[in-house]
Amino acid sequence: QSVLTQPPSASGTPGQRVIISCSGSSSNIGTNTVNWYRQIPGTAPKLLIYSNNQRPSGVPDRFSGSKSGTSASLAISGLQSEDEADYYCAAWDDSLNGVVFGGGTKLTVL
Amino acid sequence: QVQLVESGGSVVQPGGSLRLSCAASGFSFSTYGIHWVRQAPGKGLEWVAFIRSGGTKKYYADSVRGRFTISREDSKNTLHLQMNSLRAEDTAVYHCARGRVVAPTEFDYWGQGTQVTVSS
């Protein structure tokens, strides 16, 4: 059972907009920044969004992040087949004194 | 370019020990906090441990506290994870990940990982 809650799966057709949610609590998302990582199975995760809504260089602006209260979301617009991957949210937890992850969301492009 | 390369993974019996290493290059290693994150087969990401720049502050997940020790050798640009009293549930790919300078709990680069299998 992950500390942060994500839907296990999400899907969309090419060109659509998909939103992946991440729910936490006051000790993690409510107090600290949220990051999103993308992982293609069998490879290392990559940073997709940091500090709630910032994109590292090289990440297309089709990807955006937001945070409100104890929840965060990742939006992917103009869905492409290469967006198929697992997506994880993460944040520091002040009560656990460590980083907590969501369980991951498997995105399928239909 | 930034590179993190893990090594030391192996098959070990329950109760055994293993020492993982993470060799860093392409950046000023001593300036950054570094983490270990693991992924069990078919499962999600699980944070394991974090050591701040300077090595004075260390943090551990409850699942490994008292059994695992994170350390760093800045002179060799290397991070270590000493794993003792290993259990079957420690079986996973172990990644090292660099924390951002201004936000050390955000991972901006990851290594490819090293496989640890705990089995009799």
Q: Which residues of B touch A91 (CB under 8 A)?
A: 105
Model confidence at B103, in pLDDT bands (50, 70, 90)?
confident
Model confidence at B107: pLDDT above 90? yes
Whole-angstrom distance, CA of residue B52 vs CA of residue B49 = 10
Query: What pLDDT score does B105 carry?
Result: 86
Residue of B nearest to A104 (CA): B44
Model confidence at B82, in pLDDT bands (50, 70, 90)?
very high
The encoded tokens of residue B1 equal: 């370019």
Query: What pLDDT score does B101 carry?
Result: 84
Model confidence at A1: pLDDT above 90? no
A40 vs B: CB within 8 A: no
On whether the CB atoms of residues A2 and B44 are closer than 8 A, the answer is: yes
Model confidence at A72: pLDDT above 90? yes
Contact between B47 and A90 using a beta-carbon 8 Å cutoff? yes
Q: Which residues of B touch A97 (CB under 8 A)?
A: 59
C-alpha angle A93-A96-A101 in degrees, rounded to nearest 5: 50
Model confidence at B36: pLDDT above 90? yes
Residue of A nearest to B42 (CA): A41
Whole-angstrom distance, CA of residue B50 vs CA of residue B55 = 10
Whole-angstrom distance, CA of residue B98 vs CA of residue A27 = 23
Mean of pLDDT values over B47-63: 95
Model confidence at A57, in pLDDT bands (50, 70, 90)?
very high
Mean of pLDDT values over B78-82: 98
Q: Which of A32, A37, A48, A99 to mutate to test the interface with B (most CBs of B within 10 A)?
A: A99
Closest CA to B94 of B45, B53, B61: B45
C-alpha angle B71-B75-B76 in degrees, rounded to nearest 5: 75
Mean of pLDDT values over B10-20: 98
B59 vs A: CB within 8 A: yes
Closest CA to A44 of B45, B63, B76, B8: B45
Mean of pLDDT values over A39-43: 93
Q: How far B7 CA sits from the closest chain A CA (Å)?
A: 15
Model confidence at B104: pLDDT above 90? no
